[in-house]
């Protein structure tokens, strides 16, 4: 029996019945033929019925504005925005994004399969399409304790969900190259689905082996030379422009008529502040055009190319039969969004999402993710080596924070000793640092020292600590460090800045200890207050909590701290805090 909706779509396309909506007097950006056409766009249900002269129940005069396909983010961790999925969608849809391909890596590290299911469930209420790539490396490292471990058998059932497209960034590229059984099993189980890559700086025969294993893309290119080699190996290149990693300008010179089909846009990680201030994929389109890329080509990289790579069918272009995910632009070069249609429905107008907020809410509860062992003051003490005197302190390994970077340097410094304990020394910018396991109430606490925060008083703490997301706290005295940790536990996760036992500012993140329940504008205001509070404590880092959140990531940098102790990242092994004299 023929599909009745399809028959009605054909009837509209032939003019035998009126369209639901007609977008009249438009400049239509055709990313397939690479031209701009003048005409009308007829919509029926969630589809584009035709382009030309049509009758319609509702007519909208665009008065020469541009009709483009909706923008698609090829790779994003929604949790990094600190926003719940529906709220994230509310923000980005106003900027013309009608679909994202998300890797729920952070939720998966904390909540396991429950976290992936939560993303899929809450996405149903969003005014954009949220596709999922299954997180491939949970945990990221055996040198830290995440909320769970996910192997191939844990991920397999999700492939029955039509919103799941494949396997997300295969971060364990050393394992792939070495033939690690679990890594290869995860790749093999995808069969003909997409397998995204993650291979910063990989080159030569190791890159060849990585691609031969079935990897299809990479979003970690930071130079044109790196992107060119990966392009020659057949990889699709996701050009990344997020809050921290910004690679668009470096890679744009590689985009030519012959290579353009292999590139697409992604943000990877973008904070709520930048989403509100800069925009989303529309920001990349604007920037690319300003750097000399043809406007139609820039829009193609933001839509059609991504849809083709992920096999999304009739998505990503303004063509008959394609899904009516459309962006209306007042100005093509400036990419100024005036209206957005998702599945044929007007969902954003005048820079705001028009879908009622209550219609996007998911009321199903998610369990608390903060499960710590009872913490008391003695748990924070770092005892000095036996027989150590204040006048003859031991050498210690120190983590060196780098401004606006997620990697670290390392040094060896003389410790400060008081009352038989190793303590912070603000005069030398040596702060005490702890990582407290928060998933299984194990009582594990990693202890260390860090330089670079310039704290003169108090403490700062976070339950966002990549990738295992244990509680991480840095401070100059134990009382404030303990108060900051206790405050986070009571908040069920978040950020806090504390002085004299009281919170100067905080950002509650009760959803998995990663994400807020508040509107984006409220979260942004809370973050501004938090930054001001860290400055009152003496900190001069531009993004103190971003730096804090990466100090336990044991796969990047030279020295990190996890709940299992101090980690020599280059040796990929734990080391003692006390250094050889």
> What CA–CA distance (Å, rounded) separates 93 from 83?
14
Nearest-CA neighbor of 546 among 274, 200, 241, 197?
A: 274
Tokens encoding 451: 């330089």
Task: Enumerate residues 6+ apart whose C-beta is below 8 A from 226.
Answer: 201, 203
Looking at residue 1, its pLDDT comes to 33
CATH architecture for the domain at 72-316+356-360: Alpha-Beta Barrel (3.20)
Strand 35-44 relative to strand 129-134, pairing: unpaired
> What CA–CA distance (Å, rounded) separates 366 from 377?
31
Q: Three-state SS for 160?
A: helix
> What CA–CA distance (Å, rounded) separates 301 from 193?
21
Q: Three-state SS for 367?
A: coil
- Residue 526 parent element (H or E): helix 520-536
- Residue 400 parent element (H or E): strand 395-401
Angle at 161 between CA 156 and CA 165, to 5 degrees: 80
- Residue 69 parent element (H or E): strand 66-69
Question: Virtual CA dihedral for 381, 383, 389, 390, nearest 10 degrees?
Answer: -20
Nearest-CA neighbor of 85 among 439, 381, 366?
A: 366
Measured CA to CA in angstroms, residue 252 lies from 221, 259, 262, 298 at distances of: 12, 11, 12, 10
> What CA–CA distance (Å, rounded) separates 320 from 235?
30
**Phi-psi region for residue 15, left (φ > 0), alpha (ψ -120 to 50) or beta?**
left
Domain residue ranges of the chain, discontinuous segments joined by +: 72-316+356-360, 377-575
Looking at residue 386, its pLDDT comes to 86
Residues in the chain: 581
pTM, full prediction: 0.94
Q: Three-state SS for 170?
A: strand
Angle at 227 between CA 221 and CA 229, to 5 degrees: 130
Strand 217-218 relative to strand 236-240, pairing: parallel
Task: Enumerate residues 6+ apart whose C-beta is below 8 A from 366.
Answer: 111, 114, 118, 511, 512
Tokens encoding 450: 């860090």
Q: Where are the alpha helices (DSSP H) in 165-263?
A: 173-178, 181-189, 204-212, 224-232, 248-251
Measured CA to CA in angstroms, residue 105 lies from 89, 102, 148, 370 at distances of: 18, 9, 12, 18
Looking at residue 364, its pLDDT comes to 65
Q: Is residue 325 within 8 Å of 48, Cβ to Cβ?
A: no
Q: Is residue 196 within 8 Å of 167, Cβ to Cβ?
A: yes
Strand 352-353 relative to strand 395-401, pairing: unpaired
Q: Three-state SS for 378?
A: helix
Q: Where are the alpha helices (DSSP H) in 233-334?
A: 248-251, 272-277, 281-290, 295-301, 304-309
* DSSP β-bridge partners for residue 516: 83
* Ordered per-residue pLDDT tens for the chain, 581 residues: 346 789 999 999 999 999 999 999 999 999 999 999 999 999 999 999 999 999 999 999 999 999 999 999 999 999 999 999 999 999 999 999 999 999 999 999 999 999 999 999 999 889 999 999 999 988 888 899 999 999 999 999 999 999 999 999 998 888 999 999 999 999 999 988 999 999 988 999 999 999 999 999 999 999 999 999 999 999 999 999 987 778 899 999 999 989 999 999 999 999 999 999 999 999 999 999 999 999 999 999 999 999 999 999 999 999 999 999 999 999 999 999 999 999 999 999 999 999 887 666 666 667 889 999 999 999 999 999 987 888 889 999 999 998 877 888 999 999 999 999 999 999 999 999 999 999 999 999 999 999 999 999 999 999 999 989 999 999 999 999 999 999 999 999 999 999 999 999 999 999 999 999 999 999 999 999 999 999 999 998 888 998 999 999 888 889 999 999 999 998 889 999 999 86
Q: Is residue 387 within 8 Å of 438, Cβ to Cβ?
A: no
């Amino acid at each position: 029996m023929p599909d009745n909706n399809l028959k009605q779509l054909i009837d509209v396309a032939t003019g035998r019945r009126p369209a639901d909506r007609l977008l009249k007097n438009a400049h239509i950006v055709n990313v397939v033929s690479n031209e701009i056409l003048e005409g009308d766009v007829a919509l029926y249900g969630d589809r584009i019925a035709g382009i030309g002269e049509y009758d319609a129940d509702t007519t909208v005069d665009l008065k020469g504005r541009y009709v483009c396909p909706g923008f698609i983010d090829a790779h994003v961790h929604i949790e990094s925005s600190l926003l719940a999925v529906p709220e994230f969608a509310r923000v980005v849809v106003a900027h013309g994004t009608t679909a994202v391909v998300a890797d729920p890596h952070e939720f998966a590290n904390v909540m396991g399969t429950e976290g992936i299911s939560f993303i899929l469930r809450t996405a149903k209420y969003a005014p954009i399409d949220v596709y999922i790539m299954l997180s491939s490396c949970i945990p990221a490292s055996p040198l830290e304790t995440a909320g769970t471990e996910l192997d191939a058998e844990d991920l397999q059932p999700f492939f029955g969900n039509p919103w799941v497209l494949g396997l997300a960034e295969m971060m364990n590229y050393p394992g792939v190259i070495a033939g690690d059984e679990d890594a290869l099993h995860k790749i093999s189980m995808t069969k003909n689905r997409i397998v995204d890559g993650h291979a910063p700086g990989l080159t030569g025969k190791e890159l060849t082996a990585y691609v031969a294993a079935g990897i299809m893309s990479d979003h970690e290119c930071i130079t044109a030379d790196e992107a060119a080699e990966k392009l020659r190996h057949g990889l699709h290149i996701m050009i990344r422009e997020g809050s921290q990693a910004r690679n668009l300008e470096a890679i744009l010179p590689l985009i030519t008529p012959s290579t353009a089909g292999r590139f697409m846009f992604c943000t990877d990680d973008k904070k709520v502040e930048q989403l509100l201030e800069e925009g989303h994929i529309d920001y990349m389109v604007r920037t690319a055009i300003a750097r000399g890329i043809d406007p139609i080509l820039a829009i193609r990289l933001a839509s059609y190319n991504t849809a083709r790579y992920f096999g999304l069918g009739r998505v990503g272009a303004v063509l008959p039969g394609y899904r009516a995910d459309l962006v209306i632009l007042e100005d093509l070069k400036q990419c100024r969004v005036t209206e957005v249609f998702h599945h044929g429905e007007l969902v954003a107008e005048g820079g705001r999402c028009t879908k009622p907020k209550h219609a996007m809410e998911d009321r199903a509860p998610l369990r608390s993710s903060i499960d710590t062992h009872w913490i008391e003051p003695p748990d924070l003490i770092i005892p000095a080596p036996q027989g150590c005197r204040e006048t003859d302190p031991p050498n210690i390994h120190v983590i060196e924070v780098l401004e606006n970077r997620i990697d670290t340097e390392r040094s060896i410094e003389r410790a400060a000793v008081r009352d038989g304990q190793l303590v912070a020394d603000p005069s030398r910018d040596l702060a005490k640092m702890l990582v407290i396991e928060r998933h299984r109430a194990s009582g594990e606490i990693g202890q260390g020292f860090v330089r670079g925060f310039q704290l003169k008083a108090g403490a700062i703490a976070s339950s966002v600590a990549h990738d295992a997301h244990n509680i991480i706290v840095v401070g100059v005295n134990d009382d404030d460090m303990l108060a900051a940790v206790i405050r986070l536990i009571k908040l069920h996760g978040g950020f806090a800045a504390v002085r004299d036992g009281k919170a100067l500012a905080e950002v509650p993140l009760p959803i998995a200890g990663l994400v807020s329940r508040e509107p984006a504008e409220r979260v942004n205001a809370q973050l501004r207050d938090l930054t001001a509070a860290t400055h009152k404590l003496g900190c001069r880092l531009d993004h103190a909590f971003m730096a804090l959140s990466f100090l336990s990531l044991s796969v990047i940098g030279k020295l990190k701290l996890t709940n299992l102790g101090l980690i020599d990242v280059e040796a990929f092994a734990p080391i003692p805090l006390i250094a050889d004299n």
